[in-house]
């Protein structure tokens, strides 16, 4: 059972993710709990008890976090229940996929084509959005590479620990 400080942390994460990303509060609370719980793999029943929530609320939150690639379910051979944990890949930078921004730029260019005869001030917002999307598509892969080098330096110096591993997770 988590202590009061852990529950408070889970609540803070829940409020932040609800405000910042539109997550249902329970999904954010679940994420907060998974960040600090021990053991790092929890059954639905353990999560229900720890977060003082209904089974359906936890199941829905798990599904949402799975869809975002933040959590995953695993089942050991011979077990009859899933265990939920953070997906180790979720510790990598999110929303840094250049292809998404390339798609944004293409979508905005489609809108700009509709305004081909419009005055420049009417086209300006789409032109700026295209420029931003292209800028991000170009810069983000370099930024991710810089982050990985920085993270590796921090790990090598001992200033950053290694992420805890869950059953079946691979190193990054």
Each residue's pLDDT tens digit, 71-87: 999 988 888 899 999 98
* Residue 18 confidence (pLDDT) above 90: yes
Lowest mean pLDDT: which of 18-27, 87-96, 101-110, 151-160? 87-96
Helix 44-51 with 55-67: angle, nearest 10 deg: 110
pLDDT at 171: 45
Q: How far apart are CA 150 and CA 163, in angstroms?
A: 15
Q: Residue 138: which residues within 8 A CB-CB, separation 6 or more?
A: 98
Q: What is the mean pLDDT of residues 31-50?
A: 94
Alpha helices in 85-162 (DSSP H): 98-114, 120-157
Identify the sign of the CA torsion 164, 152, 16, 129: negative
Which of 172, 170, 168 shows the shortest CA–CA distance to 75?
A: 168
DSSP-derived pairing of the beta strands 83-86 and 71-74: antiparallel
Mean pLDDT of the chain, nearest integer: 89
pLDDT at 170: 46
* Residue 90 confidence (pLDDT) above 80: no
Q: How confident is the model at residue 138 (pLDDT cuts 50, 70, 90)?
A: very high
pLDDT at 165: 56
Q: Residue 86 in 3-state DSSP?
A: strand
């Amino acid at each position: 059972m988590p202590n009061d400080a852990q529950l408070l942390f889970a609540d803070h994460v829940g409020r932040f993710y609800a405000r910042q990303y539109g997550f249902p509060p329970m999904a954010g609370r679940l994420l907060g709990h998974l960040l600090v719980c021990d053991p790092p793999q929890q059954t639905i029943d353990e999560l229900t008890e720890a977060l003082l929530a209904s089974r359906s609320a936890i199941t829905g939150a798990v599904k949402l976090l799975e869809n975002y690639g933040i959590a995953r379910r695993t089942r050991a051979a011979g077990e009859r229940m899933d265990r939920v944990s953070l997906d180790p890949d979720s510790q990598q930078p999110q929303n840094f996929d250049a292809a998404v921004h390339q798609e944004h730029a293409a979508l905005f260019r489609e809108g700009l084509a509709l305004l081909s005869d419009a005055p420049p001030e009417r086209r300006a917002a789409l032109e700026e959005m295209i420029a931003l999307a292209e800028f991000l598509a170009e810069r983000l892969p370099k930024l991710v590479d810089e982050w990985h080098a920085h993270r590796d330096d921090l790990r090598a110096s001992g200033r950053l620990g290694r992420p805890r591993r869950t059953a079946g997770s691979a190193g990054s």
